[in-house]
Each structure stands twice: as C-alpha cells, then as structure tokens.
Chains A and B, each alone.
Chain A
C-alpha cells in the first residue's frame, strides 16, 4: 500500500514551458486535491476533485488545469509556467461519506522551480 505518490519529485522549468504533475493514490479515496505551499505560508488549495470525471476550483486556480480521468489519478497541468509558480506542490486524497470529508493523506510533494 503506497498511499499517495507524486511524480516527479523535482523539476526545473523555463518560463513559458509546460508540464504535468501526476498524483496517484491506492486507497480508493473519492476526493483528491492539489495544494501549493510557499515559504512561510500555509497550504493553498489549487483545484480539487470529488470523484472521477469531476474537478472544481480551489483558492488559487489561475494558471493551472486539472483532470481526473481515473479515480486513482489526479493530474495538475501548467500550460505556460511563470516564476510565480515556483513552489512545492502537494497532492492529497481523502475518504468521504454522507457529505462529510475525513482526514487527508498527502503525497511527498513536487518541488518546482521556474526560471
């Protein structure tokens, strides 16, 4: 049981390049999330998904797109990277039942630098 995994672990991009971050979970969780964390700041929600085929915007969605084609995978895309997107990106997943969400389990993070 690997929990939540993320690839890649590190990446350096040049301004304007695109990339996709992959998150996978093997806990059969319905909900999945993408966060970013910047130095001295808390986690900020980018996008989330409440089930296969559905996505929704979080607090800071601009410049990012997501897809949830399979229940176990949640992809985060940057179409045209900007230096402001330099950050650590965490994926998480959680169980849900009867309109209640439970604790989130996080992946190890992806450290992205945009030059």
Chain B
C-alpha cells in the first residue's frame, strides 16, 4: 500500500462545478499536510497548507480528518484556469523527517 494515495482521476468537470479530491495516508506519525497544484511542464506550487482540522481560501477548502487519516480538497465554482494536477503532500515525523508526494489527480475544467 502506498503511503499517500490520491483519487486516480482524471476529473472532467464543466465550468462552475464543484469538485472534491480525496487523499489518504497510512502513517499515523504524519505531521503536516499540503495541497499543491502543478501545471503541465511546470513546477509544483503550494495551494494550501492544512495544519489543523482544515482551512478555506476563497473557492478552495481543505479538510483534515486525523482519525480516518485522510485529507480532502474542495474546489467550488471551477474555472478553466483550475485545470491542473493536484498533489497531496504529507510530512511524516520519523526521528528525522520524510515528505511523501501523492501521484496527483488531474483536473480538466471545460467550458
């Protein structure tokens, strides 16, 4: 089992739709959580950090459920510009540290 697993995608949604991505992690020593977006042939860019139970930034809401070991990302009122790959990232405290990137979920928003 992978340490971080994401919805395989791709997700194809119309403009204005609400879309949710899920990410599960297996290591209970997971400490901090992030969502990144990556555009084609570009570097990953931080979308949101999720340090507590969840947080909201405009059309984006991230939630963390430590008991069930998953985080989610909700995008409301999807825009064409939201088309990208969304990466779930988990930092694990192991005595040192370990950062695990999910494989990503591809989102296509169409007009």
User: Hey, which bits of chain A sit against chain B, CB under 8 A?
Assistant: 33, 41-43, 45, 50, 56, 88, 90, 96, 99-109
Check B97 against A101 for contact (C-beta < 8 Å): yes
Sample of 15 more A-B contacts, CB < 8 Å, known A43-B44, A101-B32: A42-B103, A42-B104, A50-B96, A88-B41, A99-B93, A100-B31, A100-B32, A100-B91, A101-B99, A103-B34, A103-B49, A104-B89, A105-B46, A107-B43, A108-B43
Within 8 A of A (CB), among B10-62: 31-32, 34, 41-46, 49
Bound Cα distance A105, B44 (Å): 8
> A41 vs B97: C-alpha distance in the bound complex, in angstroms?
22
9 contacting pairs across A/B (C-beta < 8 A): A42-B87, A42-B104, A43-B44, A43-B87, A43-B101, A88-B41, A90-B43, A90-B44, A106-B45
Residues of A within 8 A of B89 (CB): 104
Q: How far is the CA of A28 from the CA of B93 in the complex (A)?
A: 22
Contacts A99-B93, A100-B32; is A106 near B44 (CB within 8 Å)? yes
Interface positions of B (Cβ within 8 A of A): 31-32, 34, 41-46, 49, 87, 89, 91, 93, 96-97, 99, 101-104
Tell me which residues across on chain A come within 8 A of B93, comparing CB atoms: 99-100
Provide the main secondary structure of the chain B interface. strand
Closest 3 CB pairs of A and B: A106-B43, A42-B103, A43-B101
Which residues of B lie under 8 Å from residue A102 when comparing CB positions?
32, 49
User: Would you call A101 and B91 a contact (CB within 8 A)?
Assistant: yes
A105 to B97, CA, bound (A): 17
Task: Kindly report which residue of chain A lies nearest to residue B85, judged by CB atoms.
Answer: A42
Q: Which residues of B contact A99 (CB under 8 A)?
A: 93, 97
**What is the distance, in angstroms, from A102's C-beta to the closest C-beta of chain B?**
7
Residues of the B chain whose Cβ atoms lie less than 8 Å from the Cβ of A104: 46, 89, 99
A104 CA / B90 CA spacing, docked (Å): 11
Give A105's nearest chain B residue, CB to CB.
Answer: B46
CA distance A107 to B93 in the complex (A): 25
* Cα A33 to Cα B101 with chains together (Å): 13
A106→B34 CA distance, assembly (Å): 14
